[in-house]
Structure 1
Amino acid sequence: MEPANELELDVGSITPEETIEAIRCLRNGRAFGIDEIPAELLNAGGSTMVKKLTELYKRCWNGGEVPEDWRKGVMVMLPEKGNLADCESWRGITLLSVPGKTFCVILLRRLRDAIDIQLREE
């Protein structure tokens, strides 16, 4: 199998439907990132939230830049079983921006669709 030279990626404008689907992936009750925007806010925001997020995502998509908070994470250490004085008894997680995650979901779906098409053609 030869490597693909080009990927037919959807570079069209981000749609409200894509934003809705990305928001549906969010789970309530989870920690949020540095911007302190919880998933509950996006889930409860209705059509106004979808409209505003879609506008923001379009600006990011067309401009090639995302807000700084989306590029930062908060590292948190969580205890696991065992002696908490032992470093091996802890694991780290990174808390990321919820709106940034939904934007990434949209990008991931577009990439996945393009890759699926490429693989079917081969």
Structure 2
Amino acid sequence: MVNQVKDLYGNACQVCTTRLRYKRRPYSEAAHIRGLGSPHDGPDELANLLCLCPNHHVLFDGLEIFIDVDGYVKKTHGGESLGRLHRNASHRIDDEHLRYHRTLCDLNRLTGK
């Protein structure tokens, strides 16, 4: 599934469309929207994955950015928009996983961490 999400986007970040190369090969990261394992118990499936550059992967996992209900990527603190999340028509992203991630970002914002 990791390779599948990367192939869908040609290794381009869904946030910024950057296509990195590392050791003369395309480089991107598959990010789980709802984390695997306890306490999040997210599934390891395509509907729970995004293709991101390393910078946006760290920000997403660190709850510094989220995807709002309209599909825009926003900063958790201040709400500044980074633009619309790039989507491939054949990539179904589960809205429940996005909602779960937004809840974590709200908690992060409220606690000031």
Q: TM-score, normalised by structure 1?
A: 0.28
**More helix by percentage:** 1
Tell which has more relative contact order, 1 or 2 (C-alpha 8 A, sep 6+): 1
**More strand by percentage:** 2
Greater Cα radius of gyration, structure 1 or 2: 1
